[in-house]
Chains A and B, each alone.
Chain A
């Protein structure tokens, strides 16, 4: 379908094409910039363009495709680095150098790459859409291939194949390829949803011990600038015990992505493979086009769902969801829609909720259980958590890790505020750890919380009378609380302490609590406070 551009304002372009549907992909201009339909009226069709429109003129051609924005799904996504439209960034670099300029179309998956294909069907067999017909080995994973067609097989490939060739031929001539396109805005429903049960071990003591996350659950990390959202997300991306990690840099910094890349290339997982091989990175930095930023989280979550549907545990991390919401706001206001709170469109909440709904545990047709967990950073303006994006996320998320500016200023990292954060998964999580790690887990958790709460109360007293004015017992408690904060909750991501197993977490907290109990006993037995404290410090090293 062909037409012309009739008006342009920034990345919002009107074309005279008729009969398109919302979200259909449109190419505009001689340079064939890609965009999608965001608004339909009798007289005109409005397109949001994913690329820089500088130099575009009215009267240039426009072409509608009658198909929405899709991503390619198939073997070879792992280790990939994409922009918000799933264009390979290394591929773009080859094409246009260090700076991103308008480009020719670029395949998202390497169709020439060779794979060892092991079919599970033979000529004469029948396949049904959704059924597994074979697999390839992708890095550390067996990558099952699902049929998108139904029929009887007349030809089956085996062994050395590439994705450009069909793997199966059906009676009647239809051909089954090893990859497929999927519309990014449509959730993949790969089976029956199940409740989340197993914890996702992040390696962060504060999270695993106090506010655990379950596989299939959603956590949000709101915090002002410099409070440690990115460092926390990247640290978890390194150590989380999932099969696949999808990391989206959504409207954030280029240097951060460069740091992540160089680290993930070098670092190895437990089996000695580069971390990058289990990771998919989507990077649409703040200076890249806004519409592609909006689509980036959908592009990424669709790839995440793809691996979840094979029965794998997938962790999706986005930094930052606020930048996505702002992109939505920019697009909405360029369409002159009626704004809601803080200028965000009124559909912000429902859009977010349906996005977050894409997380969860599913049971696949073959009886495996796959999960998609999300950890989403949120950047509230002025670190004011009452703003619409934080609030909208809160309604759907199961865990809330609030990063505190004053903790960050005192270099307490991760700056998770222990009084305001929470996890709705806490009970399930601690039941699991109690079973798997130690009977004492829940009880120690309670002690830890108590110590922190009592300290909070005592702090108010100290502000009036000073430390000198406290009773000995209270001084001991303050001392223990400091240990909990400094030696347990703090965890420097740039040291060997960046990751702790649940076992190590337990040992550390129980040592602190034990020492505190001993100190209380010594005090009751009449030992001088100064001596006890000295002994404690020596013991702690």
Chain B
């Protein structure tokens, strides 16, 4: 045990965000370090690997001002921790947990390791209550449940950020409880940053935000979601709040992971992403959940951009393998002028089954969702067929279904500026079915 800080001036090499330090006594894995550049700039880092007295440090922040001779490295004998307090509510921070809103830093009540600890599976409560996003395509057909992780898969150029901003502003619990949004933005352009800043300013202080801009250090992109989740866990499980964590854009996170992995000269996996990306993503996504016999919940809504619109790309693919469903945005729906441009066919909320129906949303919810989905799916299939054989080649009843599919997109999926509560969404569904002579039995 050292129980003390140690300072060294023995950097042997610097490679991107990675710094090798020699002749270090008893460093710890995950230990935080501070680097002081010759010009006095302070940077934080974390110990990744130790081989005898040689230590590999990953630096959060810009390493371009560091040198081998004059830079000093202090080892703090503690792992990376986040400051926690209720007073973080309503505040905006950067990816290193420094205030961006001009106010002084709050006084922490406690500190927790940012890597978190896995929830014991037997301590989990199965999620069963809905969170209302105000969008019919989500609430009605792919309901978000408290404690769920449900990603949004977007394509480059689609209005994912607008959708996120709307959810930020209008999401609500369907039951009682204190509801908070933790918003983590990764690799934002300045333009997007000011857009979100405005959105937050219009919200009462039911949020905590972490912004990492595109020009800021890559390593902070790996850190920011962990800070956000550590805060979320504290608010949820120590302050009994229901916390929705929105992380946008996870594609920037994964690219940062790849960049660091490459500079560590690790063996690349599919498309150059590291082989441990599944486990790494799981270490974030699995922090969503509820605990037995304890109020509070962490729900996650990560947003990602599918490179080349490809859902089999490792980023959406591994995400889909960990999360409990997905909301998929599509170019086709965007071209039709729908907002949100959700393609409901590949969407799924796996926890919806137990979170809707009598006593939760409404008795007819499940049946209605099934029927809408089934008719629409059939309509989409017929649309493909009609493209080849023409509408005349279809049976008369099939032409009806085709018309229904169009109407469903324009009325149910599309909602522009409108916010619909769950009952409005369900009523609209029933109305649509009636219009086409399809009724719930």
> Residues of A at under 8 Å CB distance from B?
6-10, 30, 52-59, 81, 89-90, 92-93, 96-101, 224-226, 249, 251, 253-255, 257-259, 261-262, 283, 285-288, 290, 323, 326, 329-330, 333, 339, 342-343, 379, 381-384, 409-411, 462-469, 494
Contacts and interface: CB of A to CB of B under 8 A. Distances in A.
Nearest to B46: A54
11 contacts: A98-B291, A100-B118, A254-B119, A257-B121, A285-B118, A339-B267, A379-B321, A381-B318, A463-B385, A465-B389, A466-B393
A529 B312 CA distance: 44
Given A342-B270, A381-B270, A381-B318, 13 more contacts: A52-B115, A54-B79, A58-B52, A98-B291, A99-B123, A100-B120, A101-B117, A285-B282, A287-B287, A323-B278, A383-B312, A384-B312, A468-B395
A261 B393 contact: no
Contact of B348 (A10, A226, A283, A468): A226
Contacts of A468: 392-395
Binding site of B, secondary structure by majority: helix, strand, loop or mixed? mixed
B17 interface: no
B126 A254 contact: no
Given A54-B30, A379-B321, A257 B377 contact: no
Interface stretch (B21-29, B95-103, B129-137, B217-225): B21-29
Contacts of A59: 26
Interface string B103-133: 0000000000101111111111111000000
Contacts of A255: 124, 126-127, 147-148, 289, 324, 351
Contacts of B389: 463-466, 469
Contact of B29 (A56, A286, A290): A56
Given A285-B286, A287-B287, A225 B275 contact: no
A291 to B, nearest CB: 11
Contact of A259 (B48, B126, B286, B377): B126
A254 B282 CA distance: 10
A464 to B, nearest CB: 7
A465 B373 CA distance: 26
B269 A258 contact: no
B121 A283 contact: yes
A81 B120 CA distance: 11
Contact of B346 (A286, A379, A409): A409
A92 B269 CA distance: 34
B1 to A, nearest CB: 8
Nearest to A289: B118
A226 B373 contact: no
Nearest to B279: A290
A498 to B, nearest CB: 13
Contact of A249 (B48, B121, B127, B353): B121
Contact of B123 (A30, A98, A288): A98
Given A286-B282, A287-B118, A343-B269, A58 B27 contact: yes
Contacts of A253: 286, 322, 324
B231 to A, nearest CB: 16
Given A57-B26, A255-B324, A333 B314 contact: no
Given A57-B28, A226-B325, A468-B393, A7 B123 contact: no
Interface residues of B, number: 80
B79 A254 contact: no
A308 B22 CA distance: 55
B49 interface: yes
B279 A89 contact: no
Given A253-B286, A288-B118, A467-B394, A410 B28 contact: no
A342 B267 CA distance: 11
A382 B117 contact: no
Contact of A343 (B275, B354, B370): B275
A7 B394 CA distance: 70
Nearest to A59: B26
Given A286-B286, A343-B267, A7 B118 contact: no
A258 B26 contact: no
B124 A287 contact: no
B190 interface: no
Interface of B: 1-2, 26-31, 48-53, 79, 113, 115-127, 147-148, 237, 266-267, 269-270, 275-276, 278-279, 282-283, 286-287, 289, 291-292, 294, 312-314, 317-318, 320-322, 324-326, 345-346, 348, 350-351, 353-354, 370, 373-374, 377, 381, 385, 388-390, 392-395, 398
Nearest to A410: B377
B278 A326 contact: yes
Contacts of B348: 226
B122 A93 contact: yes
A56 B392 CA distance: 72
Given A329-B275, A466-B385, A466-B393, A257 B30 contact: no
Q: Which 5 A-B pairs have the closest CB atoms?
A: A466-B393, A382-B312, A286-B282, A258-B124, A466-B389
Contact of A8 (B49, B314, B325, B353): B49
A104 B231 CA distance: 28
A463 B388 contact: yes
A285 B286 CA distance: 9
A330 B282 CA distance: 14
A89 to B, nearest CB: 4
Nearest to A379: B321
B126 A287 contact: no
A378 B368 CA distance: 33
Contacts of B27: 57-58
A6 B54 CA distance: 11
Contact of A225 (B50, B116, B117, B320): B320
Most chain B C-beta atoms within 10 Å of own C-beta, residue among A255, A382, A468: A255
B51 A7 contact: yes
A225 B351 contact: no
Contacts of A469: 389, 393
Contacts of B31: 55
B117 A81 contact: no
A300 to B, nearest CB: 14
A494 B123 CA distance: 24
Contacts of A226: 320, 325-326, 348, 350
Contacts of B283: 287
A339 to B, nearest CB: 6
Contact of A53 (B1, B29, B370, B388): B29
A42 B113 CA distance: 37
A82 to B, nearest CB: 10
A203 to B, nearest CB: 19
A379 B390 CA distance: 39
Contacts of B48: 9
Contact of A333 (B275, B350, B381): B275
Contacts of B53: 58
A411 B374 contact: yes
Contacts of B29: 8, 10, 53-57
Nearest to A336: B267
A343 B187 CA distance: 29
B412 to A, nearest CB: 18
Contact of B122 (A90, A465, A494): A90
A229 B318 CA distance: 16
B303 to A, nearest CB: 17
A467 B395 contact: yes
Contacts of B52: 6-7, 58
Most chain B C-beta atoms within 10 Å of own C-beta, residue among A8, A261, A290, A383: A8
B126 A262 contact: yes
A409 B322 contact: no
A409 B377 CA distance: 9
Contact of A93 (B120, B313, B392, B394): B120
A454 B275 CA distance: 44
Contacts of B279: 251, 286-287, 290, 326, 330
